[in-house]
């Protein structure tokens, strides 16, 4: 009789070389990430057009930018515990459906009030997807390769942002903002692909005591991988021998136990500060360029260039994580992002040539991008399987508070502090995040996802 113990099943997954199955999981989860980024990016361009057509005040612009992020907070809080209870795949599909439906309704919004309601519900779908995608992908990848593969997922975020910028560049000036929201509803079609090609996480099944269901999925992964690779022998050692402990029923209170409280404080602070910095930097950029005297079309082009620069450092760090680790690579990029942001804010607020401003924006985007490529890998590695999605959702919820506050703070501070002043606040958020990770973070390079 085959050994279908939890230890043996995890060992079978860990010994696998990277193959087409793992990269397929990267693409499936990455496309969902790109759809999320597309929507977040799209609204920053839409509000620029809406400001002109609906004569919006600065406060109304800040509300549109923030309300979706408040919805993400609600979605993140709800989806993590549900995904830990009922599975990753079901929540993945439900949250994507919510996002797509209400994005379509945004296109038909007859007034500012309706748009606010629909944007909130779009945010619920988007926020609910983040903990699931982050947890699910990592649970398929062997520890030796997880940094590289999971680190690459954030490159899809850049793809989504670039797509939003391209569509905004060509569609909004010619056809208006409503058609852009219609494009945001297209992920509804992706649900059918997910239903057919995305398996449930075997680690989650094992944690639920459903080893027989996990066996079928693992056997299929082995079959696919063996077509192109020779499978090494299975070795169950003392590193993963305690994985069966993951079947114990544990609650969210574990996040605040002596073992995990420092990790939780660090992650919640990191996600809050990191997203405050990200949205503080990018959410107002198209409008700031217009305010500086550039046309809407040129403003979209400048932001598009900056988003293309969002890709390279993610790829670099994805490969460096498995060699040098997560913690200090993350700290380094947070500090450098802070320095670049303060210089960029100075350039935006002074009489500096457009070319130099865009160059500084590219450099800033380069360092900011790596923060999230590393963070999305690092976070799920710090919690056991039964509360992994819950742990990620708690951190993600904190990020939504930061991201919702950022557009409001930047909008309110522009008149009193100027561009240089508010970008100083953004830079401070990045630097403070780096200090927090340096003080409380632990290294997770090579850590097997288990009850650790």
Closest CA to 26 of 155, 195, 127, 216: 155
Give the range of the structural domain holding residue 155, as residue numbers without chain letter.
6-228+244-440
Q: Is residue 239 part of a domain?
A: no
Give the residue with greater pLDDT, 440 vs 292.
440
Q: Which of 112-126, 325-339, 379-393 has the lowest mean pLDDT?
A: 379-393
Residue at 451 is within a domain: no
Q: pLDDT of 388-408, one tens digit each?
A: 888 888 888 898 888 878 877
- The pLDDT assigned to 220 comes to 94
Has residue 307 been placed in a domain? yes
CB 299 within 8 A of CB 426: no
Q: What SS3 class is residue 7?
A: helix
Phi first, then psi, for residue 14 (nearest 5°) are -70, -30
Q: Which of 191, 213, 228 is nearest to 94 (CA)?
A: 191
Query: Does some domain include residue 238?
Result: no
What CATH number is associated with residue 370? 1.20.1250.20
Q: Is 452 within a domain?
A: no
Does residue 239 carry a pLDDT above 50?
no
State the total domains in the chain: 1
On whether residue 71 sits in a domain, the answer given is yes
Tens digit of each residue's pLDDT (9 = 90 or more) over 92-144: 888 888 988 898 999 999 999 999 999 999 999 988 887 788 778 888 988 77
Half-sphere exposure of 262 (CA within 13 A, CB side): 9
pLDDT digits (tens, 9 = 90+) for 274-308: 999 988 887 777 777 776 677 766 777 777 777 77
Rounded to the nearest integer, the mean pLDDT of the chain is 83
d(CA 151, CA 153): 6
Q: Is residue 235 part of a domain?
A: no
H helices within 379-451, ranges in order? 388-440
Token pair for 94:
């439900």
Q: Please indicate, yes or no, if residue 449 is contained in any of the structural domains.
A: no
């Amino acid at each position: 009789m085959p050994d279908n113990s939890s230890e043996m099943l995890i060992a079978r997954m860990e010994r696998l070389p990277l193959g087409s199955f793992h990269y397929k999981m990267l693409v499936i989860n990455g496309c969902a990430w790109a759809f999320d980024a597309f929507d977040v990016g799209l609204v920053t361009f839409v509000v620029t057009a809406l400001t002109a057509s609906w004569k919006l005040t600065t406060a109304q612009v800040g509300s549109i930018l923030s309300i979706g992020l408040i919805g993400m907070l609600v979605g993140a809080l709800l989806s993590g515990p549900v995904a830990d209870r009922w599975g990753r795949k079901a929540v993945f599909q439900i949250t994507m459906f919510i996002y797509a439906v209400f994005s379509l309704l945004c296109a038909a919004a007859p007034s500012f009030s309706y748009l606010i309601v629909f944007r909130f519900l779009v945010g619920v779908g988007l926020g609910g997807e983040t903990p699931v995608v982050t947890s699910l992908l990592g649970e398929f990848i062997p520890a030796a390769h997880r940094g590289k593969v999971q680190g690459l997922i954030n490159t899809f975020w850049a793809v989504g942002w670039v797509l939003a910028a391209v569509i905004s560049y060509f569609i909004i000036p010619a056809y208006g903002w409503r058609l852009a929201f219609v494009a945001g509803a297209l992920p509804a079609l992706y649900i059918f692909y997910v239903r057919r090609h995305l398996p449930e996480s075997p680690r989650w099944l094992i944690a639920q005591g459903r080893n027989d269901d996990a066996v079928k999925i693992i056997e299929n992964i082995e079959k696919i991988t063996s077509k192109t690779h020779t499978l090494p022998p299975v070795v169950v050692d003392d590193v993963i021998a305690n994985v069966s402990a993951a079947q114990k029923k544990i609650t969210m209170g574990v996040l605040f136990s002596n073992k995990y409280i420092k990790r939780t404080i660090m992650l919640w602070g990191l996600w809050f500060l990191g997203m405050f910095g990200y949205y503080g930097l990018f959410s107002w950029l198209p409008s700031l360029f217009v305010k500086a005297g550039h046309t809407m079309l040129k403003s979209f082009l400048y932001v598009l260039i900056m988003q293309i620069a969002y890709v390279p450092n993610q790829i670099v760090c994805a490969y460096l994580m498995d060699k040098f680790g997560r913690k200090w690579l993350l700290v380094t990029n947070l500090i450098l992002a802070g320095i670049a942001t303060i210089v960029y804010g100075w350039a935006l607020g002074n009489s500096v040539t457009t070319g130099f401003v865009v160059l500084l924006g590219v450099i800033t985007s380069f360092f900011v991008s790596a923060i999230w490529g590393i963070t999305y890998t690092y976070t799920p590695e710090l919690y056991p399987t039964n509360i992994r999605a819950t742990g990620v959702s708690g951190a993600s919820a904190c990020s939504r508070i930061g991201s919702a506050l950022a557009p409001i703070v930047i909008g309110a501070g522009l008149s009193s502090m100027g561009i240089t002043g508010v970008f100083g606040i953004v830079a401070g958020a990045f630097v403070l995040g780096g200090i927090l990770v340096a003080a409380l973070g632990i290294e997770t390079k090579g850590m097997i996802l288990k009850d650790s």
